[in-house]
Structures are given as C-alpha cells and as structure tokens.
Structure 1
C-alpha cells in the first residue's frame, strides 16, 4: 500500500510548523504519534485474534463443551465483540476520553488472556481430557472451572470493545488536515487486517500444533507490548476532552418530543430552535421543518422557558435544534435498509460457527501441513450483489454438507471423514465475495446519506448489524436444536445440510425484502452532491 501524495508534511509545511509559536507546539499530535498508535493496534489485534478465532476449538478440546454449545457461545462472543466497541466509543466520547478508555480496556484484555493462559496450563482449572472410548466418557467442567473460563472471555471481549474504535478515533484526532486523516485511516486499516491475518494463521497454528499455553502466551506478550507502546507515546498525543456522543442528541430528540406531545406543530420555521449550539461537540446548523414524522418536530418547537437570555438552551432534554430532529429522521428513513443487513449477516454467522465444526471432522492436511480448524470461521447495487452471493453460499454449504454426511457413514464416532477440508473453500469464498460487496456498500451508503453530525456513526451502524446478527444466529441455532434433531453434539448423526437450506431460504426472503426497501428508498445525499457539482 502506498501513501497518498501529501500524506506527510512537505518541507514547506515542516518549516511552517517549526516557526509556529510554542503554544501551538504544545498542542502535540501529528505524524509523530502514528507509529505508537499503529503499533498499539497491531499488538492488541494480534492478541485479540489469537484467542477469539480459536475459542470454539479451545472450549471443545480443553473444556469438553458440546460442539453446538461451543458454536452458540462463540456467536455470542462475536456479537459482543461487535457491540462493545459502540459502548466503548460512547464512554470515551461522553465521559473518560479515548486515552483512558484504551488504557483501561487494554488492561482488561490482558487480564482476560492471562486467565485463558492459566486455564490452558493449570490442570485443576479445566476438566480431564476425554478418552478414546467416545464422547460419553467426557467429564463436564465444574461450575468454578466454567466461571473462570467465562470471566476470562468476558474480560478479553470487553478489552477488544474498548480499543477497536477508540484507537482509530484517537488517531484521527491527532491530525488537522482531512488528507492526513484519510492517510492515517488507510494505514490503520491495513495494520488491522494484516495483524488479524497473522493472528488467524500463525498464532492459531501454534495453538493447534504446539500447545494452547504457547499460543495464549504469545497473545499475552502482544497485548503487553501494545499497551507499553501506547503509554510510552502519551507525551506526544493530542488529548481531546470528552465532547458527548451523537447518540445522546438522538435520545434527547425522542425525550423532548414526548415531553412536548401536547404542543402544536407549526409550519413556520421561526417557531423552531435553530441556534448553532455546540451540543455534544457537534456544531448544529439551521434547518427547515419537514413533514415526515412530524411528531418529532415538537422537540424543536420553542416554548416559554426553553432558552436562556443569551439564546442558549436552558434544558437540554426539553429542547433540541431542528437539525438534530432531522438527523433522527434520516436514521429512521434508512433503518429498513439497515435491517436487511441483520437478516443477511445472520446466516453468515451461522455458517461461520458451523463451518468450524465441519472442519474439525474433515481431513485438514495439505501434504505435511495441517490447516488449523479455527482458520475457517473467517450504494444499493453493490449491496444487492452481496445479498445474492451470500444467499448462494448457503446453498453451496448445504450441498457440501450433504456430501460430507454421505462420506461419514460407516465410520467410527471419532474418526475423520475421508473428505478434504478444501471442500469448504467454495462456500466460504462466496461468502467472502458477498461481504466484499455489501459491507463496503453499506458503509458507503450510510456515510453518503447520514447528516454531517452523524458521519462517525456509519461504522457503528455496521457494527450493530453484526452484533444483532450474531445474537440472532445464536437464537436460530437454539430453536433448530430444540425443535429438530438436525444439530446433535455429533454432527455426523445430524442434518446440518437442512440448517443451511433454511439459511438459504431466509437469505432469499431477505433479498426480496431488500429489493422492496431499495425500490422505495429515495437518496438524500446524491441530490446535494449533484447540486454542488453544478456550482
């Protein structure tokens, strides 16, 4: 990846910076912070990926957890990994600031991984291994053993949540020029995905081929290095004070509209509050009242006692600017399209967890190399293509599983099915291509359509989509497991192919729902861009 031209300060800019007064240099920030923040991201991502991508195999192999139970726990963990960053960002924006949240979260992550390391190396913290006579000989873990395991996973998950978004936000705060911020994000994402690739291959391989102790030990070292590097760079950082979360302003609109439910909605712009207050760190500009969702307009209607003599808001939870009202309306309008992403990602989440269970039962050798089982859970037109590809991958998954089940007949309970794990590649490749279309497409759509005050929530919307999808996938697997015999602990005795066909059906229905939503959706960002181009 090459750095954009102008990404680093030119000689002229450097000379200008060197001639600035001392008070400006004390503001800190700039490219000197780049190596500290990216190195921190690399270390923490290596640590997080090393345990999270192989936790199913760890629970099954070391804690004798039933395979479907482990898959459901993994889905919940991934849902939390997607949801907690949103909570971490809110805490950082509203209360503690990015630096404090990152330090605290890194410590929580370290403590969680240390507990996982202890669970993998101290015999008394896990049940004895199953013998070769079959799964009925396995001893289930005790309540204290499970408690320590779940505490470890919870702490490590909280650690990921508090660092994944806040590190990126803090890094962007170090730069003033937009082109520098974009360059930072390019390298930040490159570092993130490179570290994740290394963790899901090298570290997971160490856990499978060498020992869990060595694998988790590497994660601990990576976490410690990341935390130390981050703290060492503190004297160079620009520390931005908490300014409030944009989600708070959205909540204020709802509360204010309910409190003023008896106020008459006016069509006159002068009856609404337009002052450009710096509420929650967002500069809110004047707007005009719209006719859609008129009930919410009450939140911006000025009544007696709503403002101070200087024109500022007297009670933040009783009066909002009209722009804040319109911002919430924008989110409501786009929410049907957003909901299609949840139903799209749910079958993918099911596939990710069950593919690991399939890989465990199959031949994973490529010559002398054995592929780790944990390695396999890996605007509108683009999103539509993503929907179609992901639905198709479920049909391919069902066909491959049917073939695997036929191969599994007449073999022992613990025997490996005589079928190469590479049969799983086509379905996972289709899923990957689908995600390559719909995830960037969704993010681009949200960024294009969201108002200026809510641009930063575009990524959060995708994270919420993934979180809800993982939670819903857990519920789907639970219902299927309870109501059918398709998902027993020994998947060779089940009908996982039927589960995939159900996912294919859900994907098809959701695709039709998406087409309806897309048909009725009217772009809001494109007309503004067109008008600007005319000027």
Structure 2
C-alpha cells in the first residue's frame, strides 16, 4: 500500500515520563484516535464477517434443496428475497447509526445478530430433528420440513441476513471516519473493497467446498468461527477508533426544511447573512456558508428569520417553521446528487441480469477443465470477484498514482464512475458476441431441435465466458469504490452512514429492476425461452449495450453540471486560512 502510512497513536497532552511515552500513549484514554493504525482492525473485522456471511449466502439454494427438500423454484425465490433484502437492509443500519447509536454500536449489534443467525443455521445442519429426512435416491416422496424446522431455519436466515446486510457499509463508514482528508478516505475505500472481494472469493471457494464435499455442519461452523473472530478483533480495536457522535435524526431536519420553505413560500428571499438563521454550533464548521447558495432558491426561505421563529436566547421557537443555513444546504446536496444516483441504478441493473444469464450460459456449455474436473455453473461468477479484487489493487498502486503524476491531480470519483460505465458497456458487447458464437455452434450442432426443458450442452468451452466477467470486474473496480467515495465525500456530515449504504441500495433496487426487465423481455419477445439454445440471448445483451450508451450519456450530462460541494468548501476554508 504505497499511500498508506500507519500512524501510531500519540498522546494529546505533555508526558512527564518521557522514557515511557509510547506506553503512556497506549494507556492514556486521551491518545490520538483514528488514522491508518485502525485499518488493521477494520480490515480484519471485514474479512471475518464477509467470509462468514458469504459462506452461507452463496450456497443457500443448494442447502435448501438438498437438506430441507425445498423445490428448486421455491429455493430460488427464497434466495432472491434474501439477496434483495440484504442489499436494502443497510439503509436501516445507516439511519440508526446516523441518528441514534453511532457506527460502532450498529456494527457490534449487527455482528452479534449475524453470529446468532449462523449458529442457528449450524444447528439445523448438525441436529437431525431440526431438518426433514433426506429424500431417497430416485424417490418422489419427500418429507416437507415441519413448522418448527422452518421456524429455526428462517430465524437463522433472517438474523444472518440482517447482520450481513447492515455491517458491510456501516463498517465502511466507521473506517472512513478515521481519516480527515478525502484522499485518504478514497484510498481506504479502494482497499476496503479489495478486502471485501478477496474475502468473498475465499468464502465462495473454500467454505462452499467444505459444505458441498465434507459437511454442512462443518461449513456453517467455520462461518460462525470466522464471524466470532472478526467480532473479537473489532472490539479489540475500540480504544483506537474515532467514534462518531450522532446528534439526532438528520432526516427530521431535512423534512423541516421542506415544510418551512413551503410555509414561507410568499416571503421574499434576501441576500444578506443577518436575515438567515445559523445554529449556535455552526461556527465550529470553518466551511459553513454565510448565506444559502442560489441553487434551489425556493428552499432558502426555510432559513429566513421571521417574527416568532427565534426565542430571545437565540434558540428555535418553532422547529417546523425555520431551519439553519447548513440544513438547507444539506438538503440541496442530496437533491443535486440524486440524478447521479439514478444513473448508477441503471449501471448495476445490466450487471445483475448478466450474472444470472451467465450461469444459464455456463449450464449449456462444456465446463470441463481436464478429464476429472468440472467447473460448477454457480461458481463461474467468482471470476468477477477475483477480477475486481486484482484490479482494485492495481488501480490503487499504479494507475491512480500514474494519473496524478501525468496530470497533477487525482482521479475524481465521477471520473472513476464514468470509466466503470465504459467497461460495463464493453462487457455487454463482449457477452453479446460470445453468445452469438455459442448460438451458432448450437445451431450447427442442431441442438436447438432437441426436446426437453433444459438446454443441451453446446460443444464450446465455458472459458469463453471469462473475458466478459473479467471486464465486469474491471468496471466494478472503478465504479463501486468511486460511488462510495463520492457519496461519503458529498453527503452531509450527519449522514455518513447513509452515504456508504447508498451503493447497497443501488444494488438492491437494481436486483428488483432486473427481475422486472427480464419478465418484460420474456412477455414481449421470444428471446428468452426455457431452452436458451432456442432463444436470442445475444439480442438481450445488445439491447443493454444500447441502453448502457444512453445511460452513459445521461451520466455525462449529470456529471458535467455537478460541482463537488464539500471539496469547494474545503478549498474555500483553506484559502481563508
């Protein structure tokens, strides 16, 4: 890590015992907190929790089918609900962290939930009375799970899902809170995602192998052990963390801005600072705006002081009738960033569709590597995780530093997101070309004429799918860390956990949008029949190439007119100093 300089905590006050200064700094509760020294604890915690969470989530469909006699379509639906929920749950953790509990307590509680859930899953795998009897070989008579067995199973899944969903991005916020400069925060997010993807790869290969080949109980037990280890390491780092202090719900403050602006819609807007309300603690922020900016001027009325708004001691008399200048500017920041967020939804939707369709392609291709090994179709997408982890590291160590040397400035979050758009479009084009070749091979082999529900295997190696997956990983190495860095950098200080959870919300929304899009394509066209050898999946990919180009153009327009709010304020503050 070329840009990481580990900073040992230092005492804030003078130390009379100079010979024991280092020891005093470690024992003194007033020692300096934060910095790269905390990265070890955050990264080790992330590694343990993600290996644990990905270990049960990746193989959930197989577990439901093999151990609980759930029908395959039902198991897929359960998995869809779980995956969608895991990507939408983070906003709940973000609200709790920003408004009431702080990042540390939310990570602690969610990690405990995850541990309890995985323990429940381990019990279902090890205690025979907590799961139904196995179906006999070739038998159509299978015992359905009892209500008690389903209750324990779903309780475990629910608790583990809450833990996995909440902890990822709240932990990212806690880690970024340890740094002051946007540059250090950007580097942190790069390595945070590198560790995240690496842990997913380890879990997808190692834990899943144990579950499939040795024992479900042992596999889930290993997940519980990794979860416990990550939680212990997280608590050990508590003395070094810089803790955020929530000041109540920021969402209520934003709602008050809207209400106050509507109530004062007939009040004339002033350009003089004395007519606007500033909170007493606003002076602590050296980058605070003296008056609201001209953008979205209608909202500026919310900060105008009118008769009866303020008490004699300077406190607010009518909370829903006036807001501070900073609260008005915070709401404006969110409004300005929403168009960029929308473009990311349509960036992630093709990726979600491509992931599922790639598995269908793999099932209809030759997955043998040598005479004795066959790649599991569900493991083919591990290539994306590996590619993302490798390119995140390469970009951080070489590309970004080279760019800065050549241009004299760092690559901005929007530039990184834009590069992700380009790679995403490229991956769709490659997918379309590979699928066209696969269909030609299938037609030449007359496989499309074979009866049956499942697609016949085409004499074409599944390795042809690797290039498109590698390019997807390259794109994710750009746009996922770029998006998190953008949201964290631009969101109001009181909403940093919400900022890092925004990308998870994007994935969750994209997951459901992709489901709707696939249903629409199936109903309107004949491109996606049950047997993909009879379909035109390549046309689906080409459609998303066109949609991707349109979305990229929309993103460029949004990015052109977007100005970095907090970077501007920081530059102004530094100029004043």
Q: TM-score, normalised by structure 1?
A: 0.80
Q: SS of 1:304's equivalent?
A: coil
C-alpha distance 534-172 of structure 1, shift in aligned 2 (>3 A): closer
Structure 1 partner of 2:511: 470
- Is the counterpart of residue 511 in structure 1 residue 552 in structure 2? yes
Q: 1:364 to 1:498 in 2, by over 3 A?
A: same
Local SS of the residue matching 1:419: strand
SS in 2 for 1:365: coil
- Check 1:218–1:208 CA distance in 2 against 1; reply closer, same or farther (3 A cut): same
Distance 1:304 1:433, change over 3 A: same
Shift of the 183–510 alpha-carbon distance from structure 1 to 2, 3 Å rule, reads closer
Please, what is the CA RMSD of the aligned residues? 4.5
How far apart are the structure 2 equivalents of 1:527 and 1:344? 27
Q: Distance in 2 between matches of 1:66 and 1:501?
A: 33
In structure 1, what is the Cα distance between the partners aligned to 2:347 and 2:89?
21
Change (3 A) 1:240 1:451: closer
Q: Report how far residue 207 of structure 1 moved.
A: 3.0
**1:80 aligned to 2:114?**
no
Of the three residues 125, 134, 139, the one matched with 2:131 is: 125
> Does residue 459 of the first structure (1) align with residue 491 of the second (2)?
no
User: Which of 112, 118, 140 is the aligned partner of 1:113?
Assistant: 118
**1:347, distance to aligned residue in structure 2 (A):** 1.0
**What's the CA shift for 1:346?**
0.6
Q: Partner residue of 2:288? A: 285
| Conservation of the 8 A alpha-carbon contact between 1:76 and 1:470 | no
CA offsets per residue over residues 210-264 of structure 1, 9 Å max, x none? 3433322221221222234444665776665433354443333223334444544
Indicate if the aligned counterparts of 2:9 and 2:26 stay in contact, CA closer than 8 A.
Answer: no
Deviation at 1:300, TM superposition (A): 0.9
Paired residue for 1:313?
316
The answer to whether the 8 Å contact 2:107/2:170 transfers is yes
Q: Shift in Å at residue 72 of structure 1?
A: 5.9
Q: Identify if the C-alpha distance between structure 1 residues 385 and 26 changes in structure 2 by more than 3 Å, giving closer, same or farther.
A: closer
Work out the CA distance in 1 between the residues paired with 2:566 and 2:136.
Answer: 59
8 A contact 1:274–1:285 mirrored in 2: no
Q: Deviations over 1:248-290 (max 9, x none)?
A: 43333223334444544444432211234369x9888343233
* The one of 427, 433, 439 aligned to 1:393: 427
Q: 1:143 to 1:392 in 2, by over 3 A?
A: farther
Alignment partners' CA distance in 2, 1:169 and 1:262:
40
Q: 1:41 aligns with which of 36, 39, 46?
A: 46
Q: Secondary structure at the match of 2:510?
A: helix
Contact 1:362 1:421 in 2 (8 A): yes
Shift of 1:339: 1.0
Instruction: Work out whether 1:8 is the aligned partner of 2:8.
Output: yes
Distance of 1:205 and 1:80 partners within structure 2: 26
Assess if the C-alpha contact under 8 Å between 1:397 and 1:424 holds in 2: yes
CA shift digits 1:353-400 (9 cap, x unpaired)? 332343345443323444444433344444333223212322332343
Query: Quick one: distance in 2 between partners of 1:3 and 1:308?
Result: 50
The whole-number CA distance in structure 2 between the counterparts of 1:101 and 1:323 is 26
2-structure distance, mates of 1:488, 1:473: 17
Aligned in 2, Cα 1:155/1:20: closer, same or farther, shift over 3 Å?
closer
In the aligned structure 2, how far is the partner of 1:372 from the partner of 1:77? Answer: 22
In the alignment, structure 1 residue 25 sits paired with structure 2 residue 24:
no
Q: Are the counterparts in 2 of residues 385 and 434 from structure 1 also a CA contact under 8 Å? A: yes
Counterpart of 1:342 in 2: which secondary structure?
helix
Report how far residue 483 of structure 1 moved.
5.6
Q: How far does the alpha carbon of each residue in 1:153-207 deviate from its partner, in whole angstroms, 9 at most, with x for none?
A: 3322210133223334445566789999788767655543432231122222333
Q: Which residue of 1 is the match for residue 460 of structure 2? A: 419
CA distance in 1 between partners of 2:575 and 2:288 (Å): 23
Q: Which moved more, 1:418-427 or 1:456-465?
A: 456-465
Partners in 2 of 1:401 and 1:341 — Cα distance?
26
The 2-side partners of 1:92 and 1:481 are apart by: 42
Rate the CA distance shift 1:506–1:142 in 2: closer, same or farther, 3 A.
farther
The residue that corresponds to 2:405 in the other structure is: none
* CA distance in 2 between partners of 1:321 and 1:19 (Å): 44
Aligned mate of 2:207, from 186, 197, 203: 203
Q: How does 1:360-439 map to 2 (within 5 A)?
A: 360-367=363-370, 368-377=372-381, 378=384, 379=412, 380-404=414-438, 406=442, 409=448, 410=450, 417-439=458-480
User: Whole-Å Cα distance in 1 between the matches of residues 496 and 554 of structure 2?
Assistant: 26
Aligned to 1:160: 164
**1:455-482 residue CA offsets vs partner (Å, 9 max, x unmatched):** 6654333333222212212322344455
> How big is the shift at 1:340?
0.9
| C-alpha distance in 1 between matches for 2:216 and 2:573 | 57
Report the alpha carbon displacement of residue 523 of structure 1 after superposing the two structures with TM.
5.8
Gaps of 5+ in 2: 385-411
Matched residue of 2:89: which SS? helix
- 1:270 alignment partner, one of 263, 271, 274: 274
Cα separation, 2, equivalents of 1:63 and 1:482: 33
Q: Distance in 2 between matches of 1:278 and 1:506?
A: 44
Residues 175, 266 of structure 1: CA spacing in aligned structure 2 closer, same or farther, 3 A cutoff? closer
Instruction: Please state whether the residue corresponding to 2:316 is helix, strand or coil.
Output: coil
Q: Aligned pair 1:94/2:99, yes or no?
A: yes
1:355 matched to 2:351? The reply is: no
Q: Is the 8 A contact 1:400 1:423 kept in 2?
A: yes
Report the TM-score when normalising by structure 2. Answer: 0.75
Comparing 435-444 and 178-187, the one that deviates more: 178-187
Does structure 2 conserve the Cα–Cα contact (< 8 Å) formed by 1:356 and 1:374?
Answer: yes
